[in-house]
Amino acid sequence: MLFVDETYQDPSSGECRLQIQLYQRVQSLKFVGCSANSKQVKWLVCPEVVLTSDRTLMSNYHRNEFLGFGTCAPPNFVPDWFYSFLFFPPLKSYRGVPMEAPYGLRKIEAQLLKEGFGVVTVSPDRLSDFSAEAKIIGIHTMDPFGIGPASSTLAAILKKEPFLAQHFSALLKSPAVRKAKKNGAKIVVGGPGAWQFRHRPMFAEAHGIDCVVEGEAEAIVGSLFRSILKGEPVPKHIQIEEADAPAIDGIPGIVKPSVNGLVEIGRGCCRGCAFCNVTLRPLRWYPFEKMLREMKVNRDGGINNCCLHAEDVMLYGSKNTLPNEAKLLRLHELVMKNTLSISWSHCSLAAVASSPKLIAGVSDIVQGVQKWWGAEVGIETGSPEIAKKIMPAKAHPFRAEEWPDVVRSGMGLMHDNMLIPACTLIVGLPQEREEDVIKTMELLDDLRSCRSLIVPLFFVPLGRLKDEDWFERAEMTELHKQLLFQCVEHDFRWMGSLIDLAFGGKWYVRFLKEFYKVFAGVAKRRARQAEIEVLQ
């Protein structure tokens, strides 16, 4: 049980009330009682559910999502404390309660509040302040074991455990979690990385995790937590089937700010790529009002950025692979009226390539306020044959055979309109032949002049390919190595100008920029050295 003392100085000035309002805004107080005298007001807080995630997720990455990729790297030539400051600094918090938190955690928090639970979302390094009385500790995770595509690639190359896996394991081993377990609390883990527990069956048992929830959990989290509170047995691993994914009306709006003002605009994807988990989920779009309410929550919490989140922002409001021009433009007008800056989580090259006028229209709206915006984009392969086999609808409305041209056209349009993509390529796809890798390398050559980052990822068996083998470092051919270095060269070609674009603004950010340039310079020298040794 935790007492929160607020010094009561002058009721007419409202000073105490302001402090309490701030506290209420950042966490849900389950108000049990208060004792007041002329000097003090005491609030009694008994959150039965405490939500958190590890340090690598409780960060706003200096308000630049691209820097979040840094959490996938293992320890390197920069001291760990300085690396974490550069790539995942901790969030500002008030008495252990962060002012913003990962969006997935905010959704679960909102659902639990709606169902009447006492819930608080806390910083992992202050978990001990809240865990003594907790009955359930909910932990959100993206990549708990560092076996997601980006982290497993870096771990395989650099042969060390990535930061995000280290921090996840450190959280579970922390004195706060151990003490809570001793007091009888149950540990529940969920989030986009929950699938990884199927590949580490002993980990949950060994680390005292009582239940892992995989999939969209809003519809079941309340009944699951009620069962736990009643002491009923619950399954060790719950997989929520796609058919049980909540409809839009069943997804609550966040009630506290999300990291970098992320706002979901839809769920699911209609393209059906065989290597992807998302593709199995139904396509649903949020109405404007629902998104505006979430933007207001972020703005009221002091977050004036907005990251629009969907698997393909270009397809907002569409029922197929053709963008809905009116809805997409209206969405951007509304966002730019309600926030100070925008970014996209993901978009598809095919939707951009199919709508040159539309992307120019969106760019006009965005550039009325900022110089550029970013998104994650999947190139995956330069081979039309591979595209036909495993992602036949990725190029739609174009034919799969036209995929390399779709990529060239989409990337050119993004360059012209100042949409900067962080692109992924998949290395070692099942059935990949030498000529497929060569076609990918030729495509990369053609993208030299497109302002972008291109990140090669080792194939990870997900989606309909979940029974295939993982691609391992030992399987890399000379061509694969050349492809990897081609990506590194592409990225370093653009790194300087991307850092300049990303870190304008405030004085401390401009100061920070110089550190990133030094980091990039050292990384470039080391990569070139490795390239010489490997290719000799």
Q: Which residues of this protein are in contact with ligand SF4, per CB under 6 A?
A: 269, 271-273, 276, 278-279, 311, 348, 378, 394
**End-to-end Cα separation, the chain, in angstroms:** 64
Query: Which positions ≥6 away from 147 have C-beta within 8 Å?
Result: 196, 199, 460
Are 427 and 459 a contacting pair, CB within 8 Å? yes
Task: Name the residue type at position 72.
Answer: C
Q: Spell out the SS3 assignment of 488-516.
A: HHHHHHHHHHHHHHHCCCCHHHHHHHHHH
C-alpha distances (whole Å) from 261 to each of 290, 364, 399 are 14, 22, 36
Q: Rank residues 27 and 348 by Cβ distance to ligand SF4 and give the closer one.
A: 348
Q: Rank residues 471 and 516 by Cβ distance to ligand SF4 and give the closer one.
A: 471
DSSP 8-state code for residue 430: T
**Smallest distance, Å, CB 394 to ligand SF4?**
6
Residue 436 CB coordination number (10 Å) = 20
Cα(443)–Cα(309) distance, integer angstroms: 28
Q: Rank residues 218 and 311 by Cβ distance to ligand SF4 and give the closer one.
A: 311
**Smallest distance, Å, CB 322 to ligand SF4?**
14
DSSP 8-state code for residue 114: H
Task: Name the residue type at position 444.
Answer: L
Cα(312)–Cα(462) distance, integer angstroms: 19
Cα(333)–Cα(364) distance, integer angstroms: 10
Cα(487)–Cα(309) distance, integer angstroms: 26
**Smallest distance, Å, CB 148 to ligand SF4?**
14
Closest CA to 345 of 413, 257, 421: 421
Q: Rank residues 165 and 457 by Cβ distance to ligand SF4 and give the closer one.
A: 457
C-alpha distances (whole Å) from 176 to each of 124, 130, 187, 255, 472 are 9, 9, 12, 26, 36
Cα(12)–Cα(377) distance, integer angstroms: 54
**Smallest distance, Å, CB 171 to ligand SF4?**
28
Q: Rank residues 273 and 453 by Cβ distance to ligand SF4 and give the closer one.
A: 273
Q: Rank residues 109 and 311 by Cβ distance to ligand SF4 and give the closer one.
A: 311
**Smallest distance, Å, CB 258 to ligand SF4?**
20
Cα(69)–Cα(457) distance, integer angstroms: 12
Q: Where are the alpha helices (DSSP H) in 431-506?
A: 434-446, 478-502
Q: Rank residues 470 and 515 by Cβ distance to ligand SF4 and give the closer one.
A: 470
Q: Rank residues 339 and 348 by Cβ distance to ligand SF4 and give the closer one.
A: 348
Q: Rank residues 344 and 485 by Cβ distance to ligand SF4 and give the closer one.
A: 344
Q: Rank residues 211 and 377 by Cβ distance to ligand SF4 and give the closer one.
A: 377
**Smallest distance, Å, CB 463 to ligand SF4?**
7
Cα(311)–Cα(415) distance, integer angstroms: 20
**Smallest distance, Å, CB 474 to ligand SF4?**
26
**Smallest distance, Å, CB 515 to ligand SF4?**
33
Closest CA to 204 of 176, 174, 175, 172: 172
**Smallest distance, Å, CB 437 to ligand SF4?**
20
Q: Rank residues 256 and 394 by Cβ distance to ligand SF4 and give the closer one.
A: 394
**Smallest distance, Å, CB 280 to ligand SF4?**
9
C-alpha distances (whole Å) from 524 to each of 162, 235, 492, 502 are 20, 48, 7, 19
